[in-house]
Amino acid sequence: MDYKATPIQQPTRHEKRVLRLMICAGVFSMGFFLYTLLGNEHDDHSVLYVLLLITIFYNCLKYLHEWYHYFSISVPETKPATRTYTVDIFTTFCPGEPYEMLEKTLTAIQNVRYPHTAWCCDEANDPYVIALCEKLQVKHVTRNNRLHAKAGNINNALRQATGELCVILDPDHIPAPCLLDDIVPLFDDPQIGFVQIVQAYYNHYDNLVAKGAAQQTYQFYGPMMMSMHAYGTVQAIGANCTFRRAALDSIGGHAPGLAEDMNTAMHLHAHGWKSAYLPVVLTRGLVPASLAAYYKQQLKWSRGTFELLVTTFPRFFTRFTWRQRLHYCTRPFHYFSGVIFLINWLIPVAALFTGAIPLHMDMVNFLLAIAPLLCMTVLIRHYVQKWVAEEGERGFHVVCGLLQIGTWWVHTTGLVYTLLRKKVPYLPTPKDDTDPTPLSLHIPNLLVVVVSLAAIVYGLRYDYNPFSLFMAALAGLNIFFMLFIFYASRTSRQKAISQTIQRRIKRRLWLFRHKVYAGVRRYALLLSIVVMAVAVYVYRKQLQLPVYLPETTPVHQASLHGRMPPPLKLNHTQPFTKRILPASIKAVVYDKGYHWFRNKHALLREEVEDDLAAMKELSINTVVRTVPGIYDKTLFRCTRENGMNMIARLWMSTRPEYVMDSVAMKKEMERLLDVVRSYRHEKNIIAWNLGNDVLYTLSNRFHIPDYFYCRNMYMQWLSEFCQAIRQLDPVRPITMDICWNKGGKYRLAFLEQYLPEVDYYSLIADSANRRLLQEPIPAHAFWGEVPVQCWNLQPPMILPAWQDIANKDFISLKGILDLEGRKKPGYDTVALYWANRQPAAMELPDIKILKPAKITYEYKPLVYHVLVRHKEGWQFAGDSLQLHWYLIRTDHNGTTLYMKKAGEGPFISLMVPNHPEQYRLYVQLVADNRVKEAASTLNIPLE
Amino acid sequence: MPFPGLTALPFCFFLIACHHPPAITGAPKKVEVKKAEGVFRIYKNGKPFLIKGGSGFTHLRELAACGGNTIRTWDTTHLQSILDEAHHYGLAAIVGLDLPVSTLLDEFYCNKQKTDSVYSAYQSIVRRFKNHPALLVWCLGNEIDFPYRPRFAAFYKTFNRLVAMIHEEDPDHPVTTTLTNFQKRNIVNIKLKVRGLDFISINTFNPLKTLEKDLQHFKWFWDGPYLITEWSPEGGWETQVVKWLAPIENTSTKKAELFRDFYQNYLPHKDPRFLGSLAFYWGWKEEYTHSWFSIFNEDGTPTEIVETLRDCWRDTVTHHQAVQLQYMLLDGKGAADNILLSPGSTHQASLLLAPGEHSDSLCFHWEIIREDWWGHKKSHWTKPPAEQGLLIDSTTLQVAFRSPLKEGPYRIFVTAFNAKGFCATANTPFYVVE
């Protein structure tokens, strides 16, 4: 058995400085994360959100607790002993513990070089043990009661022993011959009450449970305890602790309890004794190697430490130092993790069952905010692993984490028992791993598996969307954790790997991993700086408004010169019967949440239901939606259930290069036809709509001769495509959008002539061309999307947008509801024309932005005011009005791309952005559930 | 003031950099700056000369009549006739040699061809005018700014070369440059990087109130002589503004009062380093508005400021002949009420005269002009045309007017004339909102 008798190196000043810098970076990252999380604009007050906050705060506090300890990491100085002490070494024996183990331990004790008296505190008064003690010249003590369990047993022996120091060894802990050489000199300081050394194991590679249980102690017995040494809060551990007899006597012997070690330490600290921690491996013992044993140990500790929190801690509160108060107050909360894991499991399950989202926050922003914190915790963890006892103790300790998750219900039970004051019997942690884990111990974890599975199935069936998928993934992860615990408990002692190749690979992998860890430790500061620099860079980049390059227009295609356009087919072989679209259509374009990634709106089922109900109030009976999209399942189901019809919009790619690329166009056709194929069975689809006026786009992007070529190519494709749709779906009509501007009439005439496959043309009006709205239109055309401002001229069949849309890089403010769902004046227009309802609510006054008489110099502040129209004319807005300002980025065409909050109140001081001509100010006056808008350029135009 | 550690370093450089060759002693110069008995003065033809004048190059007869002794130009346009006229009225002239601001590196200072052509042009100017009896000082550049950063080396090189050339061509006249307000940066860089300036000149408006104190605090670094080349109470950039950020202008009566206050209380007359001052703007110019800095009206009629400056320079108290106003009201409201009007609506503007003035003896001229907020972006400020057809009668004490149809910021101006040859001005900004 190998020991590590030389203590861990004292951290150098440089190392301490690096560590402290890293901790500062960690605290900063945590602050940043919490700031981002709590500063999130969306007001969330759901139970799920609170639960999420609890687990986040718990973890943050845990990290802070850890970092607080690492901050003062240190090792006591070892000095040569100045005098010799009389020493008693105690070990305990309980009935049922293996004799072989006891013999090994007692033999090793007798091999300890330092002069000592060995004691075996035998609870069983076992004849074999008596004989063994006699053989090994170990003093045998027994008693006739079982009072106070282990503590009582030792106290019983203490009554007979007289040594100045006493070492308490568990029967499984085999000491090294040099056990006392470094420990004893520390007692030269008369205030030292006890000295603790590392708890190391020799069976931790036996199986996964042993591995996990051992891993849990690595970070604690290494770096954490080293700092506790500096803070005067060293924890006595049941085994391997050397006490000064006088100290024990001053507190009336070993203190009892389930966590008798911690209780004793508390008593000693409260009585003013000091403690020391020596990071050396001088004994090796057994770690629980079966799940049952592990659970027993954890329950004992959880119950025991919580008990101390409510009993001993308040008693000694005034006698502790501040650091001890903090230590003994926080220590039991390690076992609170059980409740936290319960919450972690409950969140996705509850989210799936209720269809709610715990946190309404942009996923990318969330990840960006939490990434530096996660990186810093990993880096700090790895850096402090400089001070663990052995190389094998370094690494990520995944098994340990999983094991802790699997113990959630045991820890929770400990807490609940404490609250109920229910007692747990003291049983020594079983040392032999022969007992198989009874199935009953798996019931809570299997329950988690079953409920999570049910939640996944139910949740995804109820509402299939990216968020429920994410929650399902989390629930799945929990299932995996629990199954892992089940698997781990079933694996018995790991078989020695026989094949040399396998062993070699495993060894190589281990070496490689540990080389990486060494590298991380070595360059920890550099890596931390990189992490922080990247975080700051990305954060600043996020704050900046994106830059858009204007598209080159029109495109000049040299390759087209001199090429004849393909001929247009005038005579179709078969006549096309026009299919009928019901005249009673009152449709709305509902593309909310279409590009789900980084979208402001998450289209949860409840939200769809609410929207559809609101639409029905306005007598809307049809929904126009671009397909395919991730929310389609929910959407089709909800519209069907609400008795509403759908017009499926097929959106074609319009890049001019694309139109001439026959392979790409063929693919595009296949893609769209696949959509038609898979959606034609949806009963409430009443028409297929070909969205966007491609011919218009082409005419804008090409000079005339080139345009003819592209147009004809596109027409050929379109005709083929429409025929294919007609074949797939012979019943439903095809409608096609046409931008109704100056050239609209000609395009329509052209299309009617060459594209008889299309049944209807839906005219999309533009408020800039109001005059056209009053002109008569051909028979196969109808008024499609008309902006609500023009409905007094021409109430149409389609409302251009239900609600405003905001994506990361696109924004549309055409809706009759704003982004928050408040009603714009357009809502009343629709109510008037379609539902025949006069607006009931009081109308909000008109507002306007008053621009300053100043030049808009980039990066200089300017003040903008809101004016409100009163009967007497325009007046400056008062403080009582709720006004929200936004800065909108537009492209060279004036298309709105990006919106950023600019302030609140009747005026703002705006820092003029780069390229002010590409920005618009947008202000909202909000009252109740209504909103009035105004927008303007940043500058007063010059003539 | 304690010696701040941070400024110690540039100071060391300064000690090295400021090692001037000993001055060549010879015949007395026509104009020079000398320190005698601890007091700096300009000596013109051997006699001390305290500059009291107008920053401007017109209305020289009036200036001489008021007791002023110096005028100033910003460039060399019509220099011959200006100097001749100045000489005629016994005035001295600070001649401005215009230079682009120092930030125009690529556009000017790094372009050898351009700097060379300016060099030779100014060489011939100096040669031509160095013996003119009215010439007092050469002023190289106006508010061109002296930055720290090394990339401005080309600017300093050009500037130093020009100063050296002027001294070489004309050893008889000092050379200066004007700085915007008191700014340590400018003074430090002139000390460290510029050679040959005889004194510095400062253009300052409201901060004149603290100028003497500021200079005193910085004396440990620089304690040379200075001239105030532009002073006037309140520039358009430092005064109260309405909500659309248009500055609120004082009436000419109020301005005259402030001129006296500034002259008496803030000009550092007792400072031994003070070489004199020039009031801004002696003449008529558009800047913010056409009346903001103008001491004279567009047609040359003087405002009360002329009388105030005469009193200041001559140290007299006289009864002023100029028209005196209280304020202007638009629909009973003042500028600070942030007046918003709807297009094409009818309104009343009225002027309140000071007690003792009678409207019968005055004549008025009203104008509505859109706010000149981008004027300084044009090559030079020009008065925008007045809006036509809005005033029913523009010559009465009270006028009714129709607001302009086009949305935007405007001002309504009034000028009151009296029979004694003086005028007074006032204006009110308003915003037309559709």
Per CB-CB distance under 8 Å, the chain A contacts of B431 are 850
Pull the structure tokens for residue A124: 């069983």
Closest CB from B245, B338, B342 relative to A852: B245
CB proximity B385 to A under 8 Å? no
Average pLDDT, chain A: 88
| pLDDT for position B9 | 44
**Distance between CA atoms of A287 and A720, rounded to whole angstroms?**
74
Cα A142 from chain centre: 55
What is the token pair recorded at A929? 């559930």
- pLDDT on residue B106: 92
Residues 312-341 on B with a CB inside 8 Å of A are 338, 340-341
3-state secondary structure of B303: coil
Question: Taking CB atoms and an 8 Å limit, are B340 and A875 in contact across chains?
Answer: yes
Please state, as a whole number, how many other Cβ atoms lie within 10 Å of the Cβ of residue A775.
9
Q: Please compute the mean of the pLDDT values over residues B379-383 and round it to a whole number.
A: 81
Kindly state whether A512 is in contact with chain B, defined as any CB-CB distance less than 8 angstroms. Answer: no
Q: Which residue of A has its CA nearest to B408?
A: A940
Residues of A in contact with B377 (CB under 8 A): 855
A853 closest CB neighbour out of B245, B340, B345: B245
The CA distance from A116 to A299, in Å, is 35
- Which residues of chain A neighbour B338 with C-beta distances below 8 Å? 876
pLDDT of residue B290: 95
Give A255's contacts (C-beta < 8 A, 6+ positions apart).
Answer: A151, A263, A264, A266, A267
Picking from A92, A224, A111, the residue whose alpha carbon sits closest to that of residue A167 is A92
Assess whether pLDDT exceeds 90 at residue B278.
yes
A455 SS3 class: helix
Question: A855: distance to nearest CA of chain B, Å?
Answer: 6
Whether A867 and B433 lie within 8 Å, measured CB to CB: yes
> Tell me, what amino acid is at A465?
N
**Least Cα separation, residue A815 to chain B (angstroms):** 26
Please name the residue of chain B whose CA is at the shortest distance from the CA of residue A851: B244
Of A268, A273, A337, the C-alpha closest to A301 is: A337
Q: How far apart are CA A236 and CA A327, in angstroms?
A: 13
Answer whether A855 sits within 8 Å of B373, measured CB to CB.
Answer: yes
- Nearest-angstrom CA–CA distance, A497 and A852: 80
CA–CA dist A358, A52 (Å, integer)? 7
What does the H/E/C string look like for A555-583? ECCHHHCCCCCCCCCCCCCCCCCCCCCCC
Residue of A nearest to B370 (CA): A853
Average pLDDT value over all residues in chain B: 91
Indicate the pTM of the whole model.
0.79
Paired residues of A613 in beta bridges: none
The Cα–Cα gap between A141 and A157 comes to: 6
Instruction: Reply yes or no on whether the pLDDT at B313 is more than 80.
Output: yes
User: Can you give the C-alpha Rg of chain B in angstroms?
Assistant: 24
How far B388 CA lies from chain A's nearest CA (Å)?
16
* DSSP β-bridge partners for residue A92: A121
Interchain contact, B340 vs A873, CB within 8 Å = yes
- With a CB-CB cutoff of 8 Å, which residues 227-286 of chain B face chain A? 243-246
Residue B342 contacts A where some CB pair is shorter than 8 Å: yes
Do residues A23 and A71 lie in contact, with contact meaning Cβ atoms separated by under 8 Å? yes
Between residues B1 and A607, the one the model is more confident about: A607
Q: How many angstroms separate the CA atoms of A1 and A284, rounded?
A: 8
Contact predicate A166/A183, CB 8 Å: no
Give the separation between CA B209 and CA B232, rounded to whole angstroms.
Answer: 11
Longest CA–CA separation in chain A, Å:
117
The SS3 assignment for A331 reads: helix
Question: Cβ contacts (< 8 Å) between B243 and chain A: which residues?
Answer: 850, 863, 865, 876, 907
Written as one letter, the residue type at A230 is A
Which residue spans within B271-405 are E strands per DSSP?
274-280, 325-330, 339-341, 346-353, 362-370, 398-402
Distance from CA of B406 to the nearest CA of A (A): 10
pLDDT interval class at B15 (50, 70, 90): very low
Per-residue pLDDT at A530: 95
Question: Minimal Cα–Cα distance from B236 to chain A, Å?
Answer: 12
Interface mutation vs chain A, best among B340, B347, B405, most A CBs within 10 Å = B340
Q: pLDDT tens digits, residue range B286-309?
A: 999 999 999 999 999 999 999 999
CA dihedral sign, ordered A588, A594, A600, A603: positive
The answer to whether residue B431 neighbours chain A at the CB level (below 8 Å) is: yes
CA-CA-CA-CA dihedral for A158, A164, A169, A174, to nearest 10: -140
The verdict on A934 touching B (C-beta cutoff 8 Å) is no
A860 interfacial to chain B (CB closer than 8 Å)? no
Task: Look at residues A3, A4, A128, A603 and name the one whose alpha carbon lies nearest to residue A355.
Answer: A603
Name the closest residue on chain B to residue A943, using Cα atoms. B406
All residues of chain A having their beta carbon less than 8 Å from the beta carbon of residue B374 are 855, 942
Is B401 near chain A, with CB under 8 Å? no
pLDDT score for A550: 52
State how beta strands B47-49 and B226-231 pair: unpaired
Residues of A with Cβ-Cβ distance to B340 under 8 angstroms: 850, 867, 873-876
Contact (CB<8Å) B340/A862: no
Where do the H-state alpha helices sit in A113-162? Answer: 127-136, 149-158
Q: Which single residue is written with the structure tokens 């010439």?
A: B135
Other C-beta atoms lying within 10 Å of the C-beta of residue B369: 18
Q: In angstroms, rounded to a whole number, what is the distance separating the alpha carbons of residues A688 and A734?
A: 5
- Cα(B30)–Cα(A860) distance, integer angstroms: 48
Whether the pLDDT of residue B7 is over 50: the answer is: no
Q: What pLDDT does residue B5 have?
A: 43
Q: Is the CB of residue B382 less than 8 Å away from at least one CB of chain A?
A: no
B176 with B141: CB under 8 angstroms? Answer: no
H/E segment holding residue B408: strand B408-418
- Residue B329, min C-alpha distance to chain A (Å): 18
3-state secondary structure of B147: coil
* Residues A876, B338: C-beta atoms closer than 8 Å: yes
Q: What is the pLDDT of residues B53-66, one digit of tens each?
A: 999 999 999 999 99
Verify whether the Cβ–Cβ distance B409 to A853 is below 8 Å: yes
Closest-CA distance of chain B to residue A458, Å: 58
Mean pLDDT of B178-194: 94
Q: Edge-to-edge, what's the strand order for the sheet holding A919-927?
A: A896-904, A882-890, A919-927, A930-937
10-residue mean pLDDT profile of chain A (943 residues): values are: 72 92 96 89 76 94 94 82 89 87 91 91 88 90 84 88 90 89 89 90 84 85 86 85 92 87 92 90 87 89 91 92 93 92 94 89 87 95 88 88 92 92 75 68 93 96 91 95 89 61 87 93 94 90 64 56 69 71 90 88 91 94 92 93 94 74 89 94 93 86 82 89 92 92 88 88 86 84 89 87 88 91 92 86 87 93 95 91 92 82 94 90 93 93 77
CA distance A937 to chain B (A): 13
Residue type, B199: F
Chain B contact set for A907 (CB, 8 A) = 243
Beta bridge partners of A622: A587, A645
* Six token digits for residue A49: 């959100």
Q: How far apart are the first and last CA of chain B?
A: 57
